[in-house]
Chains A and B, each alone.
Chain A
Amino acid sequence: MSAPSKRQTVLVYLLLAVVLIVFLTPIYLIASSSVKPSPIMFQKPPAFLFTPTLEHYESLFGMRPFAKFMLNSLVVSFGSTAFSLTFGTLAAYAISRIRHKRMNDVAFWILSMRMFPPIAVVVPYYIIFKTVGLLDTPLALIIVYSTANIPLTVWLMKGFFDEVPMALEEAAAVDGYGLFETFWRITLPLAAPGLAVSAVFCFVFSWNEFLFALMLTGSEAQTVTVAVMSFWSSDAVQWGRIMAGSFIILIPGVIFVLTCQRWLVRGLTMGSVK
Chain B
Amino acid sequence: MSAITLSNVTKRYGAVQVVHGVDLEIDKGEFVVLLGPSGCGKTTTLRMVAGLEDVTGGKLSIGGQVVNDVAPKDRGVAMVFQNYALYPHMTVRQNMEFALRPLKLGADEVERRINETAEILGLSELLARKPAQLSGGQRQRVAMGRAMVRTPDVFLFDEPLSNLDAKLRTQVRWEIGKLHQRLGTTVLYVTHDQVEAMTLADKIVIMRDGYVEQVGTPEEVYSNPKTSFVATFIGSPSMNMIDARITDGRIEADGFSHPVPTRFAGRVTEGQDVTIGIRPISIELAHADDERALPATVEVTEFLGNEALLDLRVGTHELVAEIPAEQRVPSGTKTHIRLNFDLAHFFDAGTGRSLNAE
Contacts and interface: CB of A to CB of B under 8 A. Distances in A.
Interface of A: 165, 167-168, 170-178, 185-186, 189-190, 267-274
B81 A271 contact: no
Interface in B127-147: 130-134, 136, 139, 146
Contact of B52 (A170, A176, A190): A170
B50 interface: yes
Nearest to B50: A174
Contacts of B163: 274
A173 B71 contact: yes
B296 to A, nearest CB: 46
A272 B131 contact: yes
A170 B50 CA distance: 9
Given A173-B71, A174-B79, A270 B132 contact: yes
A274 B150 contact: no
26 contacts: A165-B83, A167-B83, A170-B85, A171-B86, A171-B87, A172-B98, A173-B72, A173-B73, A174-B73, A175-B99, A176-B103, A177-B102, A190-B88, A190-B89, A269-B88, A270-B88, A270-B131, A271-B132, A272-B85, A272-B86, A272-B87, A273-B81, A273-B83, A273-B85, A274-B83, A274-B84
A269 B79 CA distance: 20
B81 A170 contact: yes
B86 A271 contact: yes
A272 B84 CA distance: 7
Given A190-B88, A272-B88, A174 B72 contact: yes
A264 to B, nearest CB: 15
Grouping DSSP codes into helix (H, G, I), strand (E, B) and loop, the A interface class, with mixed when no group exceeds half, is: loop
Contacts of B99: 175-176
Interface string B50-84: 11100000000000000000011101011101011
B72 A271 contact: no
Contact of A168 (B77, B78, B87): B87
The 6 closest A-B pairs by CB, nearest first: A271-B132, A176-B102, A271-B131, A272-B88, A273-B83, A167-B85
